[in-house]
Structure 1
């Protein structure tokens, strides 16, 4: 069984492997962090993000120029969901946004 799975993965293209990895990661969840910068200064951080989703058009099904998700607004930038810091919805424009998304190292 394991050999068949290994063979199946090696037969996939790199893009198919990446897509499968993203689907598994989306299913299991991640502890993502999203940071916004103004120049070199960190101005906003969201933590405990499961995933970023690309908005899709209702009628045409085409991707829209923004992403969205849910995360805890880390108001004091300490990587911890403190009392009073709530989970919120956010959107990120593809136009001129200066952001970084990564898995929380803590």
Structure 2
């Protein structure tokens, strides 16, 4: 039993050391990789002024588009989510999962984890 506890402590200490020795950018990438693996319950809202005009729910992640020939990032993000037509944060009958794209030049949207 002591051997297991020692191994667990050593593994935890090593993980903490590795994470603290990473730069902030590397830590953020690790966090995103973990989220991509575990999934999130994301919400994407689009605004016209201060009013929500479109909402997508149950989004796992937003991805940056990459070029097929040059493998360079493209100026938009994309993902899949359920279009919440009545803006009630619930996937109601008839509301379907759809593909969407967001331009890097858009500034009227917000992506967050669903609080409900």
TM-score normalised by L of structure 2? 0.89
- Corresponding position: 1:101 with 2:111: yes
Distance in 2 separating the partners of 1:51 and 1:96: 18
Segment of structure 1 superposing worse, 88-97 or 59-68: 88-97
Q: Runs of 5+ in structure 2 lacking a partner?
A: 1-10
Report how far residue 96 of structure 1 moved: 3.2
Q: How does 1:83-98 map to 2 (within 5 A)?
A: 83-98=93-108
Alignment-derived partner of residue 54 in structure 1: 64
In structure 2, distance between residues paired with 1:85 and 1:76: 9
Give the structure with the larger helix fraction. 2
Q: Which runs of 4+ in 1 moved over 6 A?
A: none
What is the aligned-residue RMSD (CA, Å)? 0.8
Q: Which protein is bigger by CA-based radius of gyration?
A: 2
Alignment partners' CA distance in 2, 1:92 and 1:19:
21
2:84 paired with 1:74: yes
Structure 1, unmatched stretches of 5+, are: none
